[in-house]
Structure 1
Amino acid sequence: MDYITLNDENRLPAFGLGTWGLRGESCADTVAKAIGLGYQLIDTARMYGNEKDVGRGIRLSKVRRERLFVTSKVCSPYTSYQAAKRIVEESLDALGLEYIDLYLIHEPYGTSPEMYEALKEAKKQGLIRSIGISNFNEAEYLDFIKGCGIIPAVNQVENHVYFLRSDLQKMMKAHGTVMQGWAPFTEGMRPVFKEKILKDIGKRHGKTAGQIALKYLLQNGVPTITKSSHVERLKENLDIFDFSLTAEEIKEIHGLDEGKSLFGWY
């Protein structure tokens, strides 16, 4: 596993499991199996309604807590300082953890600054290791950091071969924030597994189009999360650390960038 050092010196695994849409025993079982395969980063959120299931999966894995990196997020309607402070404690209780590695504001709100104050306090108390934001565009990010005090360690945003967001990544890096990607396979919005460029490059390396899509993001310094409940796909997604793309291959893939969101977040 590769790692990226955040602005607070904590290390973020370059690749992890997203749990959006997973519920109940299926969620717990998937989390446990993924950890058993070697996944270290597990991503959840209050919005997903599955923190208890994720926590159960972590316990089922029987892996030592310090080997894992767990992310969660606060969202509407918990958009005040007091509500955000309460939700951090509720997330800890639901997950059954003493601390959360990374806690994000799930999307921009008018009250994001006061929500962030609650996260800063939780970080100071040791309840959260790193804090950040999610789905903030360039203007929203720049406005937010003017008075945030602690620069967000991460901004988790939509990122895939059709929406590379290189300018956002470069700008945030200059301020000390890592761009982490979600939806590397576009959640079915584009036929990424059938993309000819990715399939052709994959043949050269003995990899699938999906593995090439993931490797491209990681090789360009974008840690990413993706979801699957199928063991074989979980294995396949993790098997991307034994090869590198050439400069020419990276240039080919870069040509797929359409420069626009597939989900309307931005």
Structure 2
Amino acid sequence: MAAVASQAHIRLQSTTSLAPALEVRQLTIRYDQRTVLSDVSFQAQSSQLIGIIGPNGAGKTSLIKAILGLIPSTGQILVAGQALAKRSRKVAYVPQISAVNWRFPASVRDVVLMGRYGQLGWLRRPKKADYALADAALEQVNMQDFAERSIADLSGGQQQRVFLARALAQEPDVLLLDEPISGVDVPTQEVILHLLRDLSSAGRTLLVTTHHLQHLEHHFDALLCLNQRLIAYGPPTAVMTREVVEATFGRSLVLVPSAERIILDCNHGNCTEKQALTDSNTANNVN
């Protein structure tokens, strides 16, 4: 397995002399004597949309939390060449919608304004400029018509877009998103993925954990494959080889293109259909 990692470990090289938007050096995470991630190093450049993939327990969410400084780790995390502590406001987080208590009584605009608290401090009230930034963020994710609606009354896809707007109101350079297309229907997944692509095209760096493998080649600039260590990092076409997939997931996942996009989970020669997506879904169904 070690040989697989060394052959497939494809690094993305910076095309400029500027510091990477995000650099992780020899990151190791341990819980109660158990190693969750070991010696992970990579660089992410501006305007990159990077997918983080791996099986359950691979350390995907732990990597996100360590970059945010939410859990203890060893190693070094640099944002635009500076220590995270000096640039933490330039890194924003969009959690899984399943991890949020949606009974919290707040309007959509109030939730987005929470993205401004890091700049305001908890004892200062938002100013006109902060409301303007919140409204601009809502418009960017096409949720401006829901500003006065209770967050609890929205669909899962709408809630996800509101939390993306909250992150944008922080004015970050780096966005970390944990499973942003889980728990929403296929058309909404496409809407969110196109939003993420627009944000990366505008100069932001995005790291996105996902288990929706059918989206990888068409939507992401690079993939970071984890399974308690860094298995591979590079363009999807270079990374998604049988060798790397087996090293990452412990089995072979075969993407079969057709009118129905089917993922087959192949283990010891036995293939079972895991997910089928039809092209009959239209944008009219977006929540």
Q: TM-score range by the shorter chain?
A: 0.3 to 0.5
Choose 1 or 2 for highest CA Rg: 2
**Greater relative CO, 1 or 2 (CA 8 Å, sep 6+):** 2
For normalisation by structure 2, the TM-score amounts to 0.36
User: Between Structure 1 and Structure 2, which shows a larger proportion of helix residues?
Assistant: 1
User: Between Structure 1 and Structure 2, which shows a larger proportion of strand residues?
Assistant: 2
